[in-house]
Amino acid sequence: MNEEENKTVNDETSSSKAVSPEDERKIKYDNLYAKFLSELNTDPKYKVFFDKYTPNGAGAFKDRFAHRKTLYTLHGDYDLQSEDDMASRYYDIASEKIWEIQQRKLFDMQCNWRAEQIKIPEIVIGHSFVTWGEHIKSCPFLSPITPEEFEMYMSFIQMSPYEDIFDPVEDWQDYEGYKDWNSNWDRYDCDAPEIPGWYQFYESRTGMGALYLLPDIRGDKEDFYISLRRTKREQEFEEKNHEKPEYKTNELPLLFFNEENILKFMEKFENPELIYYEETYKKYEDIEQDEELKEAILILQTADETVDVEDNVHWRRGIIQAANEYTKKRLIEELPKAYADYLLRIKNGIPFNEGEETLRDKWHFDIDKMIKNNILDGRKINGEPEDFNF
């Protein structure tokens, strides 16, 4: 949108600050549409062109062209930006993925720290590994990624299926979860999160899966002090509130608005027809909101080469599989570039993320502080010094 058109939109909507975003978009559309249609009807430069056609045909053309020009004007900048974003998409993915190397190094340190095999000046409680995992780019005690570490990670990407590479990981430092999953032989009946594909590949190459066998000495000590503090607080709360009526009310279970409770409520109070309507609505809602398919189509549409879609009984799966393979191919191409830029930033001391002082305001550090206070309270209750020398 040029400066004059921007001014027109801003001037004509400046008095509409209280309207909803949807209404504001409609106002912008209406104003621009009226402006463009007026130009088509009155500007002499268009007259010679339209005089060659019937008035009805010219009028319909003007109407539709004004609509099209309005949409282009309103959304053109956004669409160009989206195209630029897609062009840099794979480099951006690669730049984030290489930090998984550091996540595994941090996890190895956590296993050894919990077993009291090593000390880390910046770590006094186990949860701090989770905190630094969330802010891995700013972790102050990890060594830079070596060429050997990067080559192993590249081998993982090249040799692994798309699902192992891009399976979402909620917490890279989930010590207890991964330890439980590793020790559970019946993986189909295990509630613990599966160990990430990169971790499994790394362990198969290095033998570092043996770290799961180390005892959690430090974690057990922390749990002991936290349990002392929790027990005392529960006793104090019981003594203070056990006679209050609202305390007895709080013993009732919470009612969560989830699919199970919604269905239970509908079966009890609504007629079967409504339940059928609800099931039908959800089915078509899932189709409309098929974000995975939309993303796959966008990837293939913006690919810089022809991507074949293999024969597949399920057409949806075939499209998604083609997009996944293309994404993996582009990731392999971009990872060396991302690593080279990583090394350049390391060499020149350019930070990757916000500084440590800014990080202190983040909520993970607040959780750290709360856990530390709970442990110190437990130490005090047990008649021990209020420090972390245990």
Q: Is residue 225 one of the residues assigned to a domain?
A: yes
For helices 259-269 and 272-288, what crossing angle results, to 10°? 150
Whether residues 207 and 299 fall in one domain: no
Cβ contacts of 16 within 8 Å, gap of 6 or more: 23, 24, 27
Q: Is residue 375 one of the residues assigned to a domain?
A: no
Which of helix, strand or coil describes residue 369? helix
pLDDT of res. 79: 47
HSE (side-chain half, CA atoms, 13 Å) at 152? 18
To which H or E segment does residue 16 belong?
Answer: none
Whether residues 335 and 262 fall in one domain: yes
Which residue do the tokens 């282009």 mark? 72
Q: Is residue 377 one of the residues assigned to a domain?
A: no
Whether residues 238 and 308 fall in one domain: yes
Q: Is residue 385 one of the residues assigned to a domain?
A: no
Q: 102: exposed, middle or buried (C-beta count within 10 Å: 0-12, 13-18, 19+)?
A: buried
Are 114 and 219 within 8 A, CB to CB? yes
pLDDT of res. 1: 52
Whether residues 365 and 331 fall in one domain: no
Residue 384 burial (CB count, 10 A): 13
pLDDT of res. 361: 55
Whether residues 244 and 141 fall in one domain: no
Whether residues 231 and 194 fall in one domain: no
Are 120 and 157 within 8 A, CB to CB? no
DSSP state for residue 113 in the 8-state scheme: H
Q: b/e per residue, 67-85, with b = 16+ CB within 10 A?
A: eebbeebbeeeeeeeeeee
Q: Is residue 227 one of the residues assigned to a domain?
A: yes
Q: Among 87, 111, 135, identify where a domain stops.
A: 87
DSSP state for residue 255 in the 8-state scheme: -
Q: Is residue 304 one of the residues assigned to a domain?
A: yes
Whether residues 195 and 253 fall in one domain: no
Whether residues 119 and 60 fall in one domain: no
CA distance 58 to 341: 56
pLDDT of res. 247: 56
CA distance 26 to 24: 5
CA distance 25 to 79: 16
Whether residues 212 and 274 fall in one domain: no
End-to-end CA distance of the chain: 65
Residues in the chain: 390
Q: Among 65, 87, 109, identify where a domain stops.
A: 87
Q: 131: exposed, middle or buried (C-beta count within 10 Å: 0-12, 13-18, 19+)?
A: buried
pLDDT of res. 332: 96
User: CA angle at residue 264 from 261 to 266, to 5 degrees?
Assistant: 110
Which of helix, strand or coil describes residue 204? helix
Whether residues 25 and 121 fall in one domain: no
- Determine the structural domain holding residue 251 and report its residue range: 220-347
pLDDT of res. 356: 55
Whether residues 102 and 202 fall in one domain: yes
Q: Quote the tokens at residue 41.
A: 């009807």
Q: Where are the alpha helices (DSSP H) in 14-161?
A: 21-42, 44-50, 55-87, 89-97, 99-114, 127-134, 147-159
Instruction: For residue 107, give the amino acid letter.
Output: F
Residue 142: left if φ>0, alpha if ψ -120 to 50, beta else—which one? beta
Number of folded domains in the chain? 3
CA 387, chain centre distance (Å) = 36
Q: Is residue 387 one of the residues assigned to a domain?
A: no
Phi/psi of residue 262, nearest 5 degrees: -60, -45
For helices 21-42 and 55-87, what crossing angle results, to 10°? 130
Whether residues 246 and 285 fall in one domain: yes
CA distance 211 to 112: 7
Are 328 and 157 within 8 A, CB to CB? yes
Q: Quote the tokens at residue 351.
A: 């930070």
pLDDT of res. 267: 77
pLDDT of res. 47: 83
Cβ contacts of 262 within 8 Å, gap of 6 or more: none
Q: Is residue 207 one of the residues assigned to a domain?
A: yes
Residues of the chain predicted below pLDDT 50:
12-17, 77-81
